Amino acid sequence: MPFAVTGGFGFIGSNFIRFIAKEGSIQIKNVDKLTYGSNRNNLQVLNDDTRYCFIKGDIANEKTARALVNGTDAIVNFAAETHVDRSISDPKSFVSTNILGVYSILEAMRKARKEIRFIQVGTDEEYGDIADGSFKEKDRLCPSSPYAASKAAASMLIHAYHRTYGLKTLITRCTNNFGPYQFPEKLVPKAIIRATLEMKVPVYGTGKNIRDDIRRGSLRSD
What DSSP designation does 125 have? G
Per DSSP, the three-state class of 108 is helix
Catalytic residue among 32, 58, 81, 124: 124
Active site residue 147: yes
Phi first, then psi, for residue 158 (nearest 5°) are -60, -45
| Interatomic CA distance for residues 89 and 146, integer angstroms | 9
Alpha helices in 90-186 (DSSP H): 91-94, 101-112, 146-165
Catalytic residue among 32, 58, 81, 125: 125
| Interatomic CA distance for residues 15 and 18, integer angstroms | 5
Q: Could you give the C-alpha distances from 95 to 34, 44, 104, 119, in angstroms and in order?
A: 18, 30, 13, 19
Q: Could you give the C-alpha distances from 174 to 141, 182, 198, in angstroms and in order?
A: 14, 16, 32
Catalytic residue among 52, 127, 147, 181: 147
- Beta carbons within 8 Å of 49's beta carbon, 6+ residues apart: 21
Active site residue 125: yes
Active site residue 81: no
- Beta carbons within 8 Å of 146's beta carbon, 6+ residues apart: 87, 88, 91, 94, 95
Are 15 and 44 in contact by the 8 Å Cβ rule? The answer is no
Per DSSP, the three-state class of 139 is coil
Residue numbers annotated as active site: 124-125, 147
